[in-house]
């Protein structure tokens, strides 16, 4: 399936999705409410078959927090990036996709640990690198560590 066909199929599933400029990957910004349903269809639809989630990243854009999902279809050899964003810096949360791609379980834990983004229905959402009593989220742009003098 070429990028034009993929674009048409994704817009059929999520009409509110926005195609973003990206030279390496076909990239869509989707409303957070559509994330889980889209992810399920991306994996289970035979013509899409996105069976490999190879990266989940948190991003702090300053006013917004986001999660970026990189997907591949090992069967069809096509790739896709899905992004979700939130303006809610105090309580950022998105639906988990670890019930669809098992590898997301650890990626989402890392995103929670470093950015404070929670994943609804995650089976084991707890810090993965930092101690449980660590204050704050080190990869956020507004993070300040008075003890270790780390500022962004």
Q: What domains, with CATH codes, occur in the chain? A: 3-142 (3.30.460.80)
Supply the pTM of this predicted model. Answer: 0.93
**C-alpha R_g of the chain:** 16
Q: What is the pLDDT along the chain (152 residues), one digit of tens a residue?
A: 899 999 999 999 999 999 998 889 999 999 999 999 999 999 999 999 999 999 999 999 999 999 999 999 999 999 999 999 999 999 999 999 999 999 999 999 999 999 999 999 999 999 999 999 999 999 999 998 777 665 55
Distance CA 98, CA 92 (A): 18
Tokens for 5, please give them: 């066909």
Say what the pLDDT of residue 49 is. Answer: 97
Angle CA(105)–CA(92)–CA(24) in degrees, nearest 5? 65
């Amino acid at each position: 399936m070429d990028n034009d066909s993929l674009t048409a199929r994704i817009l059929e599933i999520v009409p509110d999705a926005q195609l973003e400029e990206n030279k390496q990957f076909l990239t869509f910004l989707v409303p957070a409410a559509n994330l889980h349903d889209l992810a399920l269809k991306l994996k289970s639809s035979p013509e899409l078959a996105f069976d490999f989630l190879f990266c989940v990243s948190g991003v702090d854009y300053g006013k917004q927090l986001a999660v970026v999902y990189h997907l591949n279809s090992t069967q069809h050899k096509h790739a896709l990036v899905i992004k979700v964003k939130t303006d809610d810096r105090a309580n950022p949360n998105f639906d988990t996709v670890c019930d669809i791609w098992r590898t997301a379980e650890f990626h989402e834990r890392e995103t929670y640990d470093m950015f404070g983004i929670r994943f609804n229905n995650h089976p084991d959402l707890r810090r993965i690198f930092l101690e449980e009593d660590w204050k704050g989220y080190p990869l956020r742009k507004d993070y300040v560590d008075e003890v270790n003098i780390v500022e962004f």
